[in-house]
């Protein structure tokens, strides 16, 4: 009788732990899917912003080309779920967008264009949402990685092949302090 009770407790623990690990894994996948949706939305909005800028910025083709190339890099990494490539492409896109918005300062008509202002606000909002979703994704990955290494959960994780997941990381140049003084001099 005692043996059956012990086996029932072990089976119950295995089932509860397995279901919990499946839930955690699905949360990570959902977090990635949410990032993917926002990246796709931003990817769809950028051509509209670029087209609006082209009307005004006829001799700033290099700046626009950098945004276009960076956008294509993010889209390629997003489609292949390449986390390392996505981080690098995201850094390039953020830098090129910053350059585009800085160049736009030299075009008063562009800055006053309602379409440009709406698109700039939309993309800025999407950037903020992407940052929030990246944080949630990394939190979900951390929960997964801790659970699969904790005893006794690691036994269930090992038997059922629950593996470590990779976090999204920032490129080193994104982590540098901003030189505020030099920005005011420019």
Question: Which CATH number does the domain housing residue 68 bear?
Answer: 1.20.1440.20
The pLDDT score that the predictor gives to residue 22 is 95
pLDDT digits (tens, 9 = 90+) for 45-76: 878 777 777 666 665 667 777 777 888 888 88
Report, as ranges of residue numbers, the positions in the chain whose pLDDT lies below 70: 54-61, 103, 107-113, 170-186
Q: What is the pLDDT, as a whole number, of residue 178?
A: 45
pTM (predicted TM-score): 0.66
Measured CA to CA, the distance from residue 134 to residue 63 in angstroms comes to 27
- Domain count of the fold of the chain: 1
Q: Would you state the pLDDT for residue 169?
A: 76
- The domain of 44 spans 2-185
């Amino acid at each position: 009788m005692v043996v059956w009770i012990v086996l029932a407790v072990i089976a119950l623990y295995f089932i509860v732990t397995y279901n919990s690990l499946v839930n955690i894994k699905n949360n990570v996948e959902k977090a990635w899917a949410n990032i993917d949706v926002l990246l796709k939305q931003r990817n769809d909005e950028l051509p509209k912003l670029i087209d609006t800028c082209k009307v005004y910025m006829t001799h700033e083709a290099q700046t626009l080309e950098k945004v276009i190339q960076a956008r294509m890099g993010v889209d390629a990494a997003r489609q292949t779920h390449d986390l390392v490539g996505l981080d690098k492409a995201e850094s390039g896109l953020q830098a090129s967008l910053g350059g585009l918005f800085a160049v736009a300062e030299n075009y008063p008509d562009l800055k006053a264009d309602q379409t440009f202002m709406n698109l700039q606000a939309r993309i800025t909002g999407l950037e903020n949402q992407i940052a929030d979703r990246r944080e949630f994704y990394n939190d979900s990955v951390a929960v997964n990685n801790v659970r699969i290494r904790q005893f006794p959960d690691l036994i269930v994780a090992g038997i059922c092949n629950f593996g470590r997941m990779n976090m999204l990381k920032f490129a080193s140049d994104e982590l540098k302090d901003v030189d505020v003084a030099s920005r005011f001099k420019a």
